[in-house]
Structure 1
Amino acid sequence: MSQIAQLSEAEIEARFHIVGQRPVAFTLDGFAREKTGFSVQFDHGGEMFLTTLLAVLPEKRMLIFDCSGSPEINRRFLQSERSIFVAQPGGIHVQFVGGQAREVLYGGSRVFAIALPDRMVRLQRREFFRIDTPRVKPLQFYGRLPGGGLLVLAAHDISVAGIGLGAAVLSDDLVSGLVLSTCHFSLPEDKHDLLFSATVRHITEQDARGGFRQWRIGLQFNDLPRPAEARVQRYITHLERERHELS
């Protein structure tokens, strides 16, 4: 039985999240002092730039960070109502959601500011628990390709960070690095689909039985909402416990 299957939902929350403005401010202030680089994804994962956190101002409930080097990207970012900040300091995945940004003056320069988040996700590499999904009635993934075509593939594994898919035929539009801006799938017994954008991280060709070819496609979730993230974690925990009981 893996470690994650032994955790309660409260323990999962305590282990994988930093909650509250004071703990979050303390953590982000450390990243600012260490000049940790973050990627900022916006427009449903369709656009991204790299930034450095400059300062945390708890008294103003404000996070200050560098603009992009592109005036056009900066203009579009200021129009976005939601963004995702992601970093990997020391091999630990750190992620938080930002609201709409505004331009401010800091240290004599124009920079961006957002409201200080009150919640962060932190996952060490070993905590990206990836588990095989059922082959009978598999999770069915749907994604919209840039050309307008619909990608419909069965999942073969899942983690809180992404999903692995299997394909017998590979679309010419599907390449590593591609951002699928509109994706969804449903978990068993859930009333609502999970909605998100995703980035294709790898496409691996494999030999299947009978000499047929097939591909494994790894997708990273870009902007999975916090409640949806918790639903995925509960689903993984359920599968772990269920398989342990059958072993």
Structure 2
Amino acid sequence: MSQIAQLSEAEIEERFHITGTLPIAFLLVGYARTKDQFTVSFGGGEEMMLTTLLDAQPAGDRLIFDCSGSAEINRHLLASGRNVFAGRPAGIHVQFTSGRATEVVFEGGKAFAVPLPKHVVRLQRRDTFRIETPRGKPLQFFGRLTGGKLLNFPAHDISVAGIGMTALTLPDGLAPGDRLENCHFALPEDEHELFFSASIRHITPQVGRAGVQQWRIGLHFENMPAVEENRIQRYIAKVERERHELLAK
């Protein structure tokens, strides 16, 4: 799994960003032809809907996608100035952001159109978009070893595929490859915790800024339901939006 959170913006752009109107339109037209589904997060990351891309038109600088069956959701999306699309065509994570949607007619039916994105993040098959979690109030992971010992670590980063944690002491018996049952953590402002099984991918020793020995523990989600993945994606979009707003001030 890639440590994308530790890459610079230039490295991320070089490795994962697709830019240019024609390359982006070509890529999105391909997803439209294969009818790959995407989730659209909007309204400041508070709402989302499932959609299918219909066409990408470089001459008109627009991406056309299917509307929701809910009139209320459609109204909310039309009122949103920033929309984040995410999907996994052929198992590869694809994500891009666009501006305000307008209602259009496409092949005789109602649809939405947004400006073509400035870039598309297309990760390699084994990579997943990962963000560092806020340090002021980190996510708290809970799990149990096979023998029943309780684990509790603060999270350092998260993606829809797994979570990275920081430990000041390494519990006895913890090793890469171990499977943990009854794992759970809560996302900020969510009423319900996420429950899942997981496997330990790596345990990496490192020295912190103050010279303190610590360990990074990488955990892979084993059976995270799709609806819970959507909750994680929604959280990631919210954190990214808040960080961009801080940088813009």
Place the TM-score, normalised by the shorter chain, in its bin.
Answer: 0.5 to 0.7
Report the alpha carbon displacement of residue 80 of structure 1 after superposing the two structures with TM: 0.8
Write the distance in 2 (CA, Å) between the matches of 1:57 and 1:156. Answer: 41
Alpha-carbon contact 1:103-1:110 (below 8 Å) kept: yes
Structure 2 unpaired stretches of 5+: 140-151, 167-182, 196-207, 210-220, 225-230
| Displacement of 1:129 | 7.8
Alignment-derived partner of residue 30 in structure 1: 30
Q: Summarize the alignment of residues 1-247 of structure 1 with structure 2, pairs less than 5 Å apart.
A: 10-128=10-128, 139-141=135-137, 155-158=154-157, 173-176=191-194, 219-220=232-233, 221-223=236-238, 224-225=240-241
Kept after mapping to 1: 8 A contact 2:5/2:130: no
Q: Contact (CA 8 Å) 2:105, 2:111: kept in 1 or not?
A: yes
Q: Offset at 1:222?
A: 2.1
**Aligned residues of 2:87 and 2:94 also touching (Cα < 8 A):** yes
The number of residues matched between the two structures is: 181
| Distance in structure 1 (CA, Å) of the matches to 2:64 and 2:118 | 15
Residue of structure 2 equivalent to 1:195: none
Secondary structure of 1:28 counterpart: helix
- Structure 1 unaligned spans of 5+: 144-152, 178-187, 190-200, 205-217, 232-247
1: CA distance between counterparts of 2:11 and 2:185? Answer: 41
Deviations 1:156-176 (A, max 9, x none): 331576865799997993423
- Kindly state the Cα deviation for residue 69 of structure 1 after the two structures are TM-superposed: 0.6
Q: Distance in 2 between matches of 1:110 and 1:126?
A: 36
CA separation of 1:68/1:19 partners in 2, compared to 1, >3 Å: closer, same or farther?
Answer: same
Alpha-carbon spacing, 1:59–1:129, altered in 2? closer, same or farther (3 Å): closer
Indicate how the Cα distance of structure 1 residues 156 and 66 shifts in structure 2: closer, same or farther if over 3 A, else same.
same
What SS is found at the alignment partner of 2:32? helix
Equivalent AA in structure 2 for residue 31 of structure 1: Y
The offset of 1:7, in angstroms, is 7.5
Give per-residue Cα distances to partners, 1:23-66, cap 9 Å, x unaligned.
11111011011111111111122111111111111110011110
Cα distance between partner residues in 2 of 1:131 and 1:57: 31
Q: What is the deviation of 1:68?
A: 0.3
CA gap of 1:7–1:96, structure 2 versus 1, over 3 A, is closer
Distance 1:17 1:226 in 2: 21
| CA-to-aligned-CA distance 1:116-154 (integer Å, 9 cap, x gap) | 112011113522387999xxxx933369xxxxxxxxx97
Partners of 1:227 and 1:14 lie apart in 2 by 21
Matches of 1:227 and 1:169, distance apart in 2: 22
> Percent identity between the aligned chains?
47
Question: 1:6, 1:44 → 2: CA distance?
Answer: 26
Tell me the TM-score normalized by structure 1.
0.58
1:21 CA displacement: 1.5
Instruction: Kindly report the root-mean-square deviation, in angstroms, between the aligned alpha carbons of the 2 structures.
Output: 4.4
